[in-house]
Structure 1
Amino acid sequence: MVGRARSKETAHYPAFLVRMSHRGELRFRFTTVEGVKRLFPSGTTEQEAIQAAYVYNMQNRPELTQDFDLNEPTQFQRAISKGRRDKFNKPLKDWLPVVLARVKAEEKLSKDVFRNLERDCERLEEHMGKCLTKSLKLQHINEHIGKYYAELNNRQLNGKISNLKKIFSYLADESAIESNFVLNKKQRRLSKEDYTKARHNLDYESYLQIYEAAPLFLKVAMSLTLETTHAVREIYRLRYRIKKPREGVCGILWNPEGRVDYIDGQPIYGTLYIHRQKVQKSETSAVAIPVTQAIKDIVDLSKTSRLHCPYVVHRKPRQLQRGISKETDHLYQVHHHNISKEFSKVRDSLGLYDHLKKALRPTYHEIRGLSARMIEEQGISATERMAHANADTTKIYTRENDIRWNQVPAIEVEPKVSNEH
């Protein structure tokens, strides 16, 4: 019986040596004379596997190597020599830092977009970092997507495929691979349903239950988002005090000498300036919100931690030795990922929305939608307060048809926050 012909990429392999995917990792397998199939240890390079297989065959299957002449280059020796000459055929983990460095230097990506690309590279390194780049094929990408992104919706999956295409385009440009085979990966076709919001809205009763069970820093963050309508990426950057409004800075400019102004009978203690990261270049990205009594109460609540930190949302870290995150500049500042994770953790600990799949349960971000709906119920447009460029964007959160443009008013979304925690 004639065995299946080898592919062009593996034609130089000694007999009984094959390359395969085992538990998401590229491995080499060899069949002994007893018919036992053995996997080479994880991390074995292609050239090491070839050499070991050839030596074994020479000792135990002399009929396959009887023409071997040390003075004449055999197919095996040529393969070894070729492999050693190809300085570009290195493990994927060696090339990924090169790709990220080039992307950072050549493309003006936002911090969040670049961090997303970094995480995709980290997953590639974890899954196939030890694989030589020129041994990778589209089938390995398909396995990778199946392992890490199977639960994503079509829009999210297409984003991951786009990132993989970008990464491998740089690999091809660096000669780490012969061509960008990921370009052959078909993206998912999107329907109207893919553009509709999948997660369920957060209702006010559930918000209150989560608030009551939340640690102090999460209480403060949740209250600030509800009062301002702004997302966790702005709330975690909110400073207690700023000297003047500045681009890219979120913080409070208090009235001089503790003066209290009044708007429609409401005490106003200063102005809370928010510059949204997501739409920094938009004319509507910078928002000035009057510091009402409700916002001042939230700030006062945060100070009951008795920790010295310039940021309103803060906590003492559990492990001081771990240092400061890339996106924070104070040890006590809470990264926006940790705020969101804590919210979901408390939500699930209370059994709220357990009837829904995790991907459909309301996350911290849904507080924005709740805030917008509560503002709309007061007959006030949430558009400018949310720093949206147009009323259509606000509809994503309010689900209302009649959206009006208004100046950001001095309003309170809910009753004053209790100082109990």
Structure 2
Amino acid sequence: MTGKRKAVNKSSGNRRSEKYRDLPPYLYFDKKAGYSLRLTDGRRKIVSQNRQEAITVALEYNRRTRSAPIFDKLMNDKPVQLSLNLIIDSILERMTSDKAPSNGLLSTWKNDVQRIKSYFTMPCNEIALSHVTDYMEVNHEGASNNVYNRKLSFLELVFDYAKDSGYMTTNPAALKIKKPKEHKKRKPLDLEAFIKILEAAPLWLKTSMNLTMQTTHAVLEVSRIEYKLTKAEPGRCGCIWYEVPKQDQFGTVYGELAIHRQKTHKSEASHVIIPINDTLKTIIDNSRDAILSPYVVHKLPKKNSNPTSSLVNHVTQIVSKNISKEFSKIRDELGLYDHLKSEERPTYHEIRGLSARLIKAQGNDPQSRMGHSDSKSTKVYTEFGKETEWVQVPNLTVNF
């Protein structure tokens, strides 16, 4: 092969002849003309006949015209500011991992994330209190004060995560004043109405109502009670049966009902152990029918495919809101509380309050049984990855 081998000048990336490899980039030598330099506009210009002088000029020219702009850009360029709608999915993943929300709450979060995506298209650090105010007016105008405050709190939580990830330096949602807490409009449920609804209810609703009455726990927990667990586990509700029933001062105990309240999943009292006595065992035994289901409160769906499967773990499990809807439907069909406005009529949730009042009337404290975080109870410990605190509550029956 003929011809001189080319050398690559690493500093410039240009392929150069062997005879120029000891010269700075863009500097050339001609025996007749001397040393010439290729300028940034592509022209060549003779700079000197002297080698050392030409090298000095070339180095300085390259520094000023070729290296300086790149260096200045590196030093002065601001980092790219991402908009919230581009990072909100990753934030939701972190929140879900950290907070372990229930399926229902996660569904609500996802709906709120879609609203955030649609509105917050500006860079994160440009979001101001005025944007928060406008967002709340656009998406939640007319909502009750309590709902408005929950949506604002969710936005504040999202901004906290954005701050923690370095996308924001302030949290403008924290500057927004929440609306005053509304007085509860719903009237309490009385025992006579409870019994009438119970008598008219299908088996699955009857089971759910009785479980809430005896445990004081909400429909979200009751709908997740499984017939059998091997041990108490965070995130699950279910029955842990003794091989041999035990006796205490109140009677026979067949096992323990573990309840993990989703609403207060981070509080120590959100994990509650309730003794399964004769009353609870009877409710659980009576719930069994021809349907094979791992859940105490169950029914077959009307359709072959369950459209709400994202909110349940088994085809026979009932979405908690559907239990509440059936309760209200029967309440209205019976004509109970017709004298009240719809928003004032007691819902399924008021069974908890009725249960608490009956327990108190029996001379017992309902607080620990309900899983309230300031309850004073004996703590038992269960190994599950790490030590988790469960609150053991007394054996009792709610009489009505």
Q: Is TM more than 0.5 here?
A: yes
Q: C-alpha separation between the residues in 1 aligned to 2:265 and 2:131?
A: 39
Residue 357 of structure 2: SS of its match in structure 1?
A: helix
Contact 1:276 1:285 in 2 (8 A): yes
Residue 339 of structure 2: SS of its match in structure 1?
A: coil
Q: C-alpha separation between the residues in 2 aligned to 1:352 and 1:104?
A: 44
Which of 113, 123, 137 aligns to 1:121? It is 113
Q: C-alpha separation between the residues in 1 aligned to 2:282 and 2:87?
A: 49
| Structure 1 residues 312 and 89: alpha-carbon distance in aligned structure 2, compared to 1, 3 A threshold | same
Residue 321 of structure 1: SS of its match in structure 2?
A: coil
Q: C-alpha separation between the residues in 1 aligned to 2:269 and 2:160?
A: 35
| Structure 1 residues 361 and 142: alpha-carbon distance in aligned structure 2, compared to 1, 3 A threshold | farther
Equivalent position of 1:288 in the other structure: 273
Equivalent position of 1:56 in the other structure: none
Shift of 1:275: 2.2
| Structure 1 residues 166 and 265: alpha-carbon distance in aligned structure 2, compared to 1, 3 A threshold | closer
1:347 and 2:331 correspond = yes
Q: Which amino acid aligns with 2:99?
A: L
**More deviation in 347-356 or 336-345?**
347-356
Aligned-pair identity in percent equals: 37
Q: C-alpha separation between the residues in 2 aligned to 1:248 and 1:342?
A: 26
Shift of 1:311: 0.7
Residue 273 of structure 2: SS of its match in structure 1?
A: strand
1:372 and 2:363 correspond = no
Contact 2:272 2:371 in 1 (8 A): yes
1:307 and 2:291 correspond = yes
| Structure 1 residues 144 and 413: alpha-carbon distance in aligned structure 2, compared to 1, 3 A threshold | same
Contact 2:269 2:372 in 1 (8 A): yes
Equivalent position of 2:101 in the other structure: 111
Q: Which amino acid aligns with 2:213?
A: L
Contact 1:324 1:331 in 2 (8 A): no
Shift of 1:369: 1.0
Give 1:262-277 correspondences, 5 Å limit.
Answer: 262-264=247-249, 266-277=251-262
Which of 278, 282, 290 aligns to 1:297? It is 282
Shift of 1:162: 3.8
Q: How many residues align?
A: 300
Q: Which runs of 5+ in 2 are unaligned?
A: 1-80, 377-390
Q: Which amino acid aligns with 2:94?
A: A
Give 1:199-218 correspondences, 5 Å limit.
Answer: 199-218=186-205
Shift of 1:264: 3.6
Shift of 1:237: 1.3
Equivalent position of 1:99 in the other structure: 88
Contact 1:270 1:290 in 2 (8 A): yes
Q: C-alpha separation between the residues in 1 aligned to 2:395 and 2:248?
A: 7
TM-score by length of 2: 0.62
**More deviation in 291-300 or 318-327?**
318-327
Q: C-alpha separation between the residues in 2 aligned to 1:219 and 1:317?
A: 17
| Structure 1 residues 288 and 196: alpha-carbon distance in aligned structure 2, compared to 1, 3 A threshold | same
**More deviation in 114-123 or 369-378?**
114-123
Residue 290 of structure 1: SS of its match in structure 2?
A: strand
Q: C-alpha separation between the residues in 2 aligned to 1:169 and 1:246?
A: 30
Q: C-alpha separation between the residues in 2 aligned to 1:97 and 1:411?
A: 53
| Structure 1 residues 324 and 246: alpha-carbon distance in aligned structure 2, compared to 1, 3 A threshold | same
Q: Deviations over 1:360-394 (max 9, x none)?
A: 332222111111110111101112211222259xx
Contact 1:165 1:180 in 2 (8 A): no
TM-score by length of 1: 0.59
Which of 214, 217, 232 aligns to 1:245? It is 232
Residue 262 of structure 1: SS of its match in structure 2?
A: strand
Contact 1:99 1:170 in 2 (8 A): no
Give 1:6-405 correspondences, 5 Å limit.
Answer: 98-105=87-94, 108-112=98-102, 113-122=105-114, 133=121, 142=134, 145=137, 148-153=140-145, 155-164=146-155, 186-190=176-180, 194=181, 196-256=183-243, 259-264=244-249, 266-304=251-289, 306-322=290-306, 325-390=309-374
Q: Which amino acid aligns with 1:255?
A: Y
Q: C-alpha separation between the residues in 1 aligned to 2:324 and 2:239?
A: 23
Q: C-alpha separation between the residues in 2 aligned to 1:150 and 1:349?
A: 29
Shift of 1:323: 5.3
Q: C-alpha separation between the residues in 2 aligned to 1:384 and 1:140?
A: 39
Q: Which amino acid aligns with 1:294?
A: T
Q: Deviations over 1:301-328 (max 9, x none)?
A: 2113x11011101110112223562342
Contact 1:241 1:253 in 2 (8 A): yes
CA RMSD of aligned residues (A): 4.0
**1 or 2, which has the higher strand percentage?**
2
Q: Which amino acid aligns with 1:100?
A: D
Contact 2:91 2:162 in 1 (8 A): no
Q: Deviations over 1:175-232 (max 9, x none)?
A: xxxx999859954442xxx265443211111111221222221111111010011112
Residue 272 of structure 2: SS of its match in structure 1?
A: strand
Shift of 1:266: 2.7
| Structure 1 residues 149 and 205: alpha-carbon distance in aligned structure 2, compared to 1, 3 A threshold | farther
